Amino acid sequence: MKCPFCGAGDTAVADTRLNDEGDIVRRRRKCNACDKRFTTYERAEIRLPQVVKKNGSRIEFNRDKLRASLELALRKRPVSTESVDAAIAEIEEKLLSSGEREITSQQVGELVMRELRKLDKVAYIRFASVYRNFEDVDAFSRAVREVSPSKKS
């Protein structure tokens, strides 16, 4: 680590501590050239992929936008906040584990639909009706039949 005071590259770690959550390492360092002390923080860099929109533009993945979409679909539905948080975490985990630097907005939409289908069938249909832009009643009916339990006589 380069000294921020004199620019020397020869520094030593004097003390290392974890924060309370255990996700950040705090290191006290001492410069061997100028004898000054400074603190560094080390944390894991977690970068979600950029989202490539239909028009080709790229935007940063936005957790708040994802939450707003889920909450809109789930509006007035009996789904707990904890379940929504878990769905968001599951989507983010899939994005991280994909290892991709970019993902299409369609792929994000499919992940959202998969989670909504598990959470609430009505919310799934609400989201699908906008996301898939149903052209007619038949397309809507097919989506409803997808999530309806099959009746066996």
> 118-151: per-residue pLDDT in tens?
999 889 888 887 776 666 667 667 777 777 776 5
- Let me know if residue 98 belongs to a domain: yes
- Verify that 89 and 143 share a domain, yes or no: yes
Angle, helices 121-131/105-119, rounded to nearest 10 degrees: 160
Domain span at residue 37 reads 11-43
Do 97 and 67 reside in the same domain of the chain?
yes
9-50 pLDDT tens trace:
999 999 999 988 788 899 999 999 999 999 999 987 778 899
Largest distance between two CA atoms of the chain = 85
Say what the pTM is: 0.62
pLDDT digit string, tens, across residues 41-54: 998 777 889 999 99
Is the pLDDT score of 57 beyond 60?
yes
> Is 6 part of a structural domain of the chain?
no
Give the mean model confidence (pLDDT) for residues 67-92. 93
For residues 5 and 25, give the distance between their C-alpha atoms in angstroms, rounded to a whole number: 22
Domain count, the chain: 2
Q: How far apart are CA 120 and CA 31, in angstroms?
A: 58
